[in-house]
Amino acid sequence: MEFYSILKDPIYASFISLIVGAVLSWFLQVILNRRGLFTYYTTHNTVGMSANDTVFGEVLVTFNGNAVPNLYLSTLELTNRSAKDYENITVKIYTNTTKLFSEQTHIQNTPDIVQYTQEFKELLSLDKGEPPTDYQIQTYRSQRCYLIPVINRGQTIKFGYLNSTNNDHVGHPYIYMSINAKGVRLEYKEPSATILGIPTNHAGMMGCLSGLILLPFVTSIDSHFLIGLISFSYGLVAQLPGVALIKSWRKIRDFISG
Protein backbone atom coordinates (compact mmCIF):
# COMPACT_ATOMS: atom_id res chain seq x y z
CA MET A 1 0.00 0.00 0.00
CA GLU A 2 1.43 3.38 -1.04
CA PHE A 3 1.63 6.20 1.44
CA TYR A 4 -0.74 8.47 -0.52
CA SER A 5 -3.30 5.67 -0.40
CA ILE A 6 -2.99 5.59 3.39
CA LEU A 7 -3.71 9.30 3.59
CA LYS A 8 -6.85 8.78 1.56
CA ASP A 9 -8.07 6.13 3.97
CA PRO A 10 -10.16 7.98 6.63
CA ILE A 11 -9.14 5.56 9.40
CA TYR A 12 -5.40 5.95 8.82
CA ALA A 13 -5.74 9.70 8.24
CA SER A 14 -7.65 10.12 11.51
CA PHE A 15 -5.04 8.07 13.38
CA ILE A 16 -2.14 10.11 12.02
CA SER A 17 -3.98 13.37 12.77
CA LEU A 18 -4.62 12.16 16.31
CA ILE A 19 -0.93 11.36 16.85
CA VAL A 20 0.24 14.69 15.42
CA GLY A 21 -2.33 16.61 17.48
CA ALA A 22 -1.32 14.75 20.64
CA VAL A 23 2.37 15.54 20.07
CA LEU A 24 1.69 19.24 19.49
CA SER A 25 -0.58 19.37 22.54
CA TRP A 26 2.10 17.67 24.64
CA PHE A 27 4.78 20.13 23.51
CA LEU A 28 2.49 23.07 24.29
CA GLN A 29 1.65 21.69 27.72
CA VAL A 30 5.34 21.14 28.46
CA ILE A 31 6.08 24.77 27.59
CA LEU A 32 3.24 26.05 29.77
CA ASN A 33 4.12 23.81 32.72
CA ARG A 34 7.80 24.70 32.59
CA ARG A 35 7.17 28.41 33.15
CA GLY A 36 8.63 29.06 36.58
CA LEU A 37 8.92 25.38 37.49
CA PHE A 38 11.46 24.34 40.12
CA THR A 39 11.76 20.77 41.41
CA TYR A 40 13.57 19.23 44.34
CA TYR A 41 14.09 15.83 45.87
CA THR A 42 15.74 14.50 49.03
CA THR A 43 18.04 11.56 49.70
CA HIS A 44 19.01 10.22 53.12
CA ASN A 45 22.08 8.17 54.00
CA THR A 46 22.47 6.60 57.43
CA VAL A 47 25.72 7.47 59.19
CA GLY A 48 25.06 5.63 62.45
CA MET A 49 22.41 4.42 64.91
CA SER A 50 22.69 4.24 68.68
CA ALA A 51 21.62 0.90 70.15
CA ASN A 52 21.94 -1.18 73.28
CA ASP A 53 21.68 -4.88 72.45
CA THR A 54 22.13 -7.72 74.94
CA VAL A 55 24.03 -9.76 72.36
CA PHE A 56 26.03 -7.25 70.34
CA GLY A 57 26.50 -4.72 73.11
CA GLU A 58 26.07 -0.95 73.18
CA VAL A 59 26.61 1.33 70.20
CA LEU A 60 26.68 5.04 70.98
CA VAL A 61 26.55 7.73 68.27
CA THR A 62 27.68 11.22 69.26
CA PHE A 63 27.87 14.62 67.59
CA ASN A 64 30.30 17.11 69.10
CA GLY A 65 30.47 14.92 72.19
CA ASN A 66 26.69 14.77 72.65
CA ALA A 67 24.86 11.46 72.33
CA VAL A 68 22.23 11.29 69.57
CA PRO A 69 19.83 8.43 68.76
CA ASN A 70 20.90 8.42 65.11
CA LEU A 71 22.86 10.36 62.56
CA TYR A 72 21.99 10.91 58.90
CA LEU A 73 23.46 12.75 55.93
CA SER A 74 20.58 14.25 53.95
CA THR A 75 20.90 16.01 50.60
CA LEU A 76 18.29 18.20 48.92
CA GLU A 77 18.78 19.00 45.23
CA LEU A 78 16.98 22.01 43.77
CA THR A 79 16.76 22.31 39.96
CA ASN A 80 15.49 25.12 37.78
CA ARG A 81 13.28 23.31 35.24
CA SER A 82 11.95 26.46 33.64
CA ALA A 83 13.02 28.06 30.36
CA LYS A 84 14.44 31.20 31.98
CA ASP A 85 17.02 32.30 34.53
CA TYR A 86 15.99 33.68 37.93
CA GLU A 87 17.61 36.10 40.36
CA ASN A 88 17.33 36.64 44.12
CA ILE A 89 15.46 33.45 44.99
CA THR A 90 14.77 32.91 48.69
CA VAL A 91 14.89 29.24 49.72
CA LYS A 92 13.81 27.94 53.11
CA ILE A 93 14.79 24.51 54.43
CA TYR A 94 12.73 23.39 57.41
CA THR A 95 11.79 20.39 59.52
CA ASN A 96 9.62 19.56 62.54
CA THR A 97 10.94 16.10 63.43
CA THR A 98 14.67 16.43 62.79
CA LYS A 99 17.57 18.36 64.26
CA LEU A 100 19.80 19.98 61.65
CA PHE A 101 23.50 20.12 62.52
CA SER A 102 26.32 21.07 60.15
CA GLU A 103 25.67 21.82 56.49
CA GLN A 104 27.26 22.04 53.07
CA THR A 105 25.87 23.80 49.98
CA HIS A 106 27.08 23.88 46.40
CA ILE A 107 25.96 25.67 43.23
CA GLN A 108 26.41 23.42 40.20
CA ASN A 109 29.25 24.29 37.80
CA THR A 110 30.60 26.94 40.17
CA PRO A 111 32.93 26.97 43.19
CA ASP A 112 30.32 28.96 45.13
CA ILE A 113 28.19 28.11 48.13
CA VAL A 114 24.78 29.54 49.02
CA GLN A 115 24.69 32.33 51.62
CA TYR A 116 22.05 32.93 54.29
CA THR A 117 19.55 35.71 53.84
CA GLN A 118 20.37 38.92 55.69
CA GLU A 119 17.41 38.40 58.02
CA PHE A 120 18.59 34.91 58.96
CA LYS A 121 22.13 36.16 59.56
CA GLU A 122 20.83 38.84 61.89
CA LEU A 123 18.64 36.32 63.70
CA LEU A 124 21.68 34.15 64.47
CA SER A 125 24.13 36.98 65.15
CA LEU A 126 25.78 37.15 68.57
CA ASP A 127 27.84 39.72 70.38
CA LYS A 128 31.38 38.69 71.20
CA GLY A 129 31.42 36.23 74.09
CA GLU A 130 27.62 35.99 74.23
CA PRO A 131 26.14 32.44 74.17
CA PRO A 132 23.27 31.68 71.79
CA THR A 133 19.75 31.84 73.16
CA ASP A 134 17.43 28.84 73.28
CA TYR A 135 15.40 30.41 70.48
CA GLN A 136 18.47 30.77 68.26
CA ILE A 137 19.47 27.17 68.90
CA GLN A 138 15.97 25.92 68.20
CA THR A 139 15.76 27.98 65.01
CA TYR A 140 19.14 26.80 63.75
CA ARG A 141 18.25 23.18 64.49
CA SER A 142 14.95 23.37 62.60
CA GLN A 143 15.46 25.64 59.58
CA ARG A 144 17.76 27.52 57.22
CA CYS A 145 17.03 30.51 54.97
CA TYR A 146 19.16 31.15 51.89
CA LEU A 147 19.36 33.78 49.19
CA ILE A 148 20.29 32.47 45.74
CA PRO A 149 21.57 35.42 43.67
CA VAL A 150 21.23 33.61 40.32
CA ILE A 151 19.99 30.17 39.26
CA ASN A 152 20.16 29.53 35.54
CA ARG A 153 17.81 27.31 33.57
CA GLY A 154 18.71 23.66 34.11
CA GLN A 155 21.06 24.48 36.99
CA THR A 156 21.05 22.47 40.21
CA ILE A 157 21.91 23.56 43.75
CA LYS A 158 22.67 21.03 46.48
CA PHE A 159 21.99 21.44 50.20
CA GLY A 160 23.54 18.82 52.48
CA TYR A 161 22.88 18.41 56.22
CA LEU A 162 24.22 16.20 58.96
CA ASN A 163 21.14 15.61 61.09
CA SER A 164 19.40 13.43 63.65
CA THR A 165 15.73 12.54 64.04
CA ASN A 166 14.15 13.42 67.38
CA ASN A 167 13.53 9.73 68.18
CA ASP A 168 13.88 6.30 66.61
CA HIS A 169 10.14 6.01 65.94
CA VAL A 170 10.21 8.82 63.35
CA GLY A 171 12.18 6.72 60.85
CA HIS A 172 14.23 8.58 58.26
CA PRO A 173 14.49 12.39 58.46
CA TYR A 174 11.73 14.58 57.05
CA ILE A 175 13.27 17.76 55.63
CA TYR A 176 11.30 20.07 53.36
CA MET A 177 11.93 23.01 51.07
CA SER A 178 9.93 26.10 50.13
CA ILE A 179 10.61 28.98 47.73
CA ASN A 180 9.57 32.61 47.94
CA ALA A 181 9.71 34.08 44.43
CA LYS A 182 7.15 35.61 42.13
CA GLY A 183 5.98 33.28 39.37
CA VAL A 184 7.91 30.25 40.66
CA ARG A 185 6.21 26.94 41.43
CA LEU A 186 8.08 24.32 43.48
CA GLU A 187 7.33 20.62 43.14
CA TYR A 188 8.80 17.56 44.85
CA LYS A 189 9.87 15.08 42.18
CA GLU A 190 11.79 11.84 42.58
CA PRO A 191 14.56 11.32 40.02
CA SER A 192 13.71 8.87 37.23
CA ALA A 193 15.90 6.55 35.17
CA THR A 194 17.65 8.35 32.33
CA ILE A 195 19.37 7.57 29.05
CA LEU A 196 22.00 10.08 27.94
CA GLY A 197 20.54 12.56 30.44
CA ILE A 198 16.92 12.20 29.25
CA PRO A 199 14.20 10.37 31.25
CA THR A 200 13.67 6.97 29.68
CA ASN A 201 9.88 7.31 29.56
CA HIS A 202 10.14 10.61 27.63
CA ALA A 203 12.78 9.21 25.29
CA GLY A 204 10.73 6.08 24.64
CA MET A 205 7.55 8.00 23.90
CA MET A 206 9.24 10.43 21.51
CA GLY A 207 11.14 7.57 19.88
CA CYS A 208 7.92 5.69 19.19
CA LEU A 209 6.26 8.79 17.78
CA SER A 210 9.28 9.53 15.57
CA GLY A 211 8.92 6.02 14.16
CA LEU A 212 5.94 7.30 12.19
CA ILE A 213 8.40 8.62 9.60
CA LEU A 214 9.06 4.97 8.69
CA LEU A 215 5.42 4.42 7.88
CA PRO A 216 5.68 5.28 4.13
CA PHE A 217 8.66 2.97 3.76
CA VAL A 218 7.20 0.09 5.75
CA THR A 219 3.84 0.16 3.98
CA SER A 220 5.58 -0.18 0.62
CA ILE A 221 7.07 -3.56 1.61
CA ASP A 222 5.16 -6.70 0.67
CA SER A 223 6.94 -9.10 3.04
CA HIS A 224 5.25 -9.31 6.45
CA PHE A 225 8.39 -10.87 7.88
CA LEU A 226 10.53 -7.95 6.76
CA ILE A 227 7.98 -5.44 8.12
CA GLY A 228 8.05 -7.20 11.49
CA LEU A 229 11.86 -7.34 11.51
CA ILE A 230 12.17 -3.62 10.76
CA SER A 231 9.59 -2.72 13.40
CA PHE A 232 11.25 -4.96 16.01
CA SER A 233 14.73 -3.59 15.25
CA TYR A 234 13.54 0.00 15.52
CA GLY A 235 11.76 -0.76 18.78
CA LEU A 236 15.05 -1.92 20.32
CA VAL A 237 16.71 1.46 19.69
CA ALA A 238 13.65 3.73 19.69
CA GLN A 239 14.90 5.63 22.75
CA LEU A 240 17.96 6.94 20.89
CA PRO A 241 16.07 8.98 18.25
CA GLY A 242 13.78 10.06 21.08
CA VAL A 243 16.81 11.42 22.96
CA ALA A 244 17.99 13.24 19.83
CA LEU A 245 14.56 14.82 19.28
CA ILE A 246 14.19 15.96 22.89
CA LYS A 247 17.70 17.44 23.01
CA SER A 248 17.09 19.21 19.71
CA TRP A 249 13.81 20.56 21.02
CA ARG A 250 15.50 21.87 24.17
CA LYS A 251 18.10 23.70 22.12
CA ILE A 252 15.41 25.31 19.97
CA ARG A 253 13.42 26.24 23.08
CA ASP A 254 16.45 27.81 24.78
CA PHE A 255 17.32 29.69 21.59
CA ILE A 256 13.79 31.08 21.26
CA SER A 257 13.53 31.98 24.94
CA GLY A 258 16.93 33.64 24.85
DSSP, residue by residue, the chain: --HHHHHHSHHHHHHHHHHHHHHHHHHHHHHHHTTTEEEEEEEEEEEEE-EEETTTEEE-EEETTEEESEEEEEEEEEEE-SSS-EEEEEEEEE-SSEEEEEEEEEETTSS--PEEPHHHHHHH---TTPPPPHHHHHHHHHEEEEEEEEE-TT-EEEEEEEEEESSGGG-S---EEEEE-TT-EEEE-----EETTEEHHHHHHHHHHHGGGGHHHHHT---HHHHHHHHHHHHHTTHHHHHHHHHHHHHHHHHHH-
Which pLDDT does position 226 carry in this prediction? 75
Q: Are residues 178 and 204 in the same domain?
A: no
Q: What is the pLDDT of residue 32?
A: 52
166 and 214 assigned to the same domain: no
Residue 78 lies in a domain: yes
Would 52 be classed as within a structural domain?
yes
CATH, residue 80? 2.60.40
Instruction: Please indicate, yes or no, whether residues 76 and 136 belong to a single structural domain of this protein.
Output: yes
Same domain assignment for residues 50 and 168 = yes
Same-domain status, 245 and 163: no
Rounded to 5°, the CA angle 38-43-47 comes to 150
Which residues in the chain show pLDDT less than 70?
Answer: 1-35, 168-170, 191-194, 196-197, 212, 214-216, 218-219, 227, 231, 234, 253-258
Residue 39 lies in a domain: no
Task: Tell me what pLDDT residue 13 has.
Answer: 53
Same domain, yes or no: 66 and 102: yes
Q: Is there a domain that residue 55 lies in?
A: yes
Q: What total number of domains does the chain contain?
A: 2
In this prediction, residue 198 carries a pLDDT of: 73
Domain termination residue (choose one: 159, 188, 217): 188
Name the burial class of residue 98, with classes exposed (0-12), middle (13-18) and buried (19+) by CB atoms within 10 angstroms of its CB. Answer: buried
Is 153 found in the same domain as 58?
A: yes
The answer to whether 160 and 72 have CB atoms below 8 angstroms apart is no
Range of the domain at 199: 3-33+193-257
Domain-embedded: residue 41: no
- Distance (Å, whole) CA 159 – CA 135: 23
Residue 40 maps to a domain: no
In a domain, 26, yes or no: yes
- Is 223 domain-assigned? yes
Which of 163, 188, 213 corresponds to the end of one domain? 188
Q: What's residue 166's pLDDT?
A: 81
200 shares a domain with 177:
no
**130 and 157 housed in the same domain:** yes
CA angle 223–225–227, rounded 5-degree value: 70
Domain final position from 152, 172, 188? 188
pLDDT at 192: 66
Do 197 and 184 belong together in one domain?
no
In this predicted structure, what is the pLDDT of residue 101?
Answer: 94
Q: 134 and 208, same structural domain?
A: no
